Amino acid sequence: MLYHTRKPGSSDEKLDRAWNALKSYNNNTPEYKIAPTNQVLRTLTGVNGNAISKWIKSHKDEVESHCNTHDFKPYYNNRYRNKSVSTDSIIEKIKQEYLEIQ
């Protein structure tokens, strides 16, 4: 579970957990996948955009590999096919089922 804290290293821990949840969601869902963009990670974790950009840079190979596996254009959410399913509903599902945030 992600707690609201500002201790040193907490942003990396939150991003690691959100990244693992996002990967699990995309690997277990045949449709309505979501790309690991700065905005998506910010919504999942509450971490500021600069810290997320640094985290993405430091995990560049892993992020690019995941994007290639699921045929995402880099850092762009183009995979949810049905427009009736919004990015927000996918994020809520990840929070509830993979991060256990109620």
| CA–CA dist 51, 87 (Å, integer) | 22
In order along its 102 residues, the chain shows pLDDT tens digits of: 555 666 667 788 889 999 999 999 999 987 788 888 898 899 998 899 999 999 999 999 999 999 888 887 655 555 544 456 777 888 888 888 888 765
Q: Which residues touch 33 (CB under 8 Å, ≥6 apart)?
A: 25, 26, 70, 72, 79, 80
Cα first-last separation, the chain = 10
Position 7 scores a pLDDT of 67
Asked if 99 contacts 2 with a C-beta cutoff of 8 angstroms, the reply is: yes
| CA–CA dist 58, 55 (Å, integer) | 5
| CA–CA dist 38, 91 (Å, integer) | 13
Asked if 94 contacts 88 with a C-beta cutoff of 8 angstroms, the reply is: no
